[in-house]
Amino acid sequence: MTRRHFLTTTAAAVAAPAIHVSAQKRRPPNVLFIVSDDLSPTALGCYGHKLVQSPNVDRLARQGTRFDRAYCQYALCAPSRASFLTGLRPDTNRVLSNGPDFRDFIPDTVTLPQLFKNNGYTAIREGKMYHMGVPGTVGTNRWQDPKSWSHDGSPQGKEQNSKGEGKNLTPHIGQGVAMHYVSTPDPSEQADFDAANRAIAHLEKHRDDPFFLGLGFVRPHVPFVAPSRFFDLYPLSKIQPFVNPPDDLNDIPALVLKTLVNNVNNMRMNEDQVREALRGYFAAISFMDDQLGRVLQALDRLGLRENTIVTFQSDHGWHLGEHTFWQKRSLMEQSAKVPLIISAPGKKRGQTTRSLTELVDLYPTLAELAGVPLAHSVHGKSLVPLLNNAKAAHKTEAHTQLNAGPTLGRAVRTDRYRFIQWKSNGETFEELYDHAKDPQEFTNLAAKPEAKAELERHRALLPKG
């Protein structure tokens, strides 16, 4: 290309879209709200994993702000989702397990998508947004709250019944928790593939209308079902299981191990099976990432990216063998911390923040970005200042909770410490971890005399959550 041709082409490129950009600015920004299920931030390339291939999540992180210390408010699917979609903490919306519907307790609450729907947006759901039993209720609209949506879609998938080579590594545990994988030749049988197709169709249909598109991927939730080419990315010889100190469980309250009975001791998997489980989890992540990439490509192709707020997150974290724990339902760092990325028009790109943040912050953030007035008070705090400046002040603590029968657990994460308190049948058990010295939470300081002051300080913070 000659210099004259380059200058002419560049001038035309700058001049031609001027009216289009102006028109876009007059329109409210769209929202593409993406939730992945059971995704650990430690298993993504942009968060530092050396083996997992997640190019589309990584690219989105380069186009927005990556939150390195974002936390869910409940370490289980339904309560976490009810919290960030209502903007209310679990004790207020009263969803404390995977069964209830928040409308049973707070029937008139305006949810996040409903807020946009009430303000002239087309609110679209495809896939798991509120709770959905995986694999049991994939493809149904149970729990998906029709009041929230203009369009309410539940892509179907064959889950563990997909054709291909599969294995249940934990046959003593039922589906939905069992470490079951299927390497399949056909992606079209999967709910996430269908969800991406549907999302692309909605983008094409509503390209001229303001939309709030809630796109919920069920992967990498068990069963780990993905096309064979994604399993091929992860030879077993390259997968290294997490190594814990031999005495790691000794200072964790016995109550915790009883609460997590199906999820400790590597779920009775041997080392070879652990490698297979990790391969299944990684393959499911790469498959989900591929569907994300198809949707983001369509957003670019349709010229919507510059006027669309894109968020990507999980509902909670996921253990991958740390402390011999697997899956969620603990109050330790790996279960409470989530991936969170926000890319918004006019905001900084490629920045990372270590400010403590909570998923409950998403509701006021998206409302502020879109200029939509809140319908009720919420418990979160807008993240917009962090989108402008990753070093801006935000919160000094993040709260997570968990119930298990008569056991009530609460955790608070401060800049340096994680404090966990369990109450059961009149007894109290505590954990305190110093992340400056012990980022993997191997040493519980709760019984150490030198930790007394920090213990008391963190006890006083729990009621704020």
Q: Using the predicted structure, report yes or no on whether residue 315 has a pLDDT greater than 60.
A: yes
Tell me if the bond preceding 55 is cis, omega within 30° of 0.
no
The DSSP result for 153-165, as a single string, is E-----GGGSSSE
Q: Which of 20, 46, 72, 131 is catalytic?
A: 131
- 126-168 pLDDT, tens digit each: 999 999 999 999 999 889 999 999 999 999 999 999 999 999 9
Q: What is the pLDDT of residue 258?
A: 87
- 1-37 pLDDT, tens digit each: 333 333 333 333 333 333 334 444 568 999 999 999 9
Q: Is 373 helix (H, G, I), strand (E, B) or coil?
A: coil
383: which 2 tokens? 């993240």
Backbone dihedral angles phi then psi of residue 42, each to the nearest 5 degrees? -70, -10
Q: Which of 77, 221, 399, 458 is catalytic?
A: 77
Q: What is the pLDDT of residue 262?
A: 87
- 235-268 pLDDT, tens digit each: 999 999 999 999 999 999 999 988 888 899 999 9
Closest CA to 316 of 336, 289, 288: 336
Q: What is the pLDDT of residue 259?
A: 83
- 85-124 pLDDT, tens digit each: 999 999 999 999 998 999 999 999 999 999 999 999 999 9
Q: What is the pLDDT of residue 261?
A: 82
Domains and CATH numbers, the chain: 28-395 (3.40.720.10)
- 216-225 pLDDT, tens digit each: 999 999 999 9
Across 184-197, average pLDDT = 96
Q: Using the predicted structure, report yes or no on whether residue 293 has a pLDDT greater than 50.
A: yes
Instruction: State yes or no: is 77 an active-site residue.
Output: yes
Give the least confident one: 18-27, 148-157, 322-331, 399-408: 18-27
25 vs 188, higher pLDDT? 188
Across 349-355, average pLDDT = 98
Enter the pTM of the model.
0.93
Give dist(CA 293, CA 190) in Å, integer: 16
In percent, how much of the chain has pLDDT > 70? 94
Q: To the nearest 10°, the Cα dihedral for 182, 339, 80, 417?
A: 120
Q: What is the pLDDT of residue 4?
A: 36
Q: Using the predicted structure, report yes or no on whether residue 366 has a pLDDT greater than 60.
A: yes
Q: What is the pLDDT of residue 26?
A: 64
Closest CA to 280 of 244, 239, 316, 340: 239
Phi-psi region of 303 (alpha: psi -120 to 50; beta: other; left: phi over 0): left
Check: CB of residue 192 under 8 Å from CB of residue 218. yes
Instruction: State yes or no: is 72 an active-site residue.
Output: no
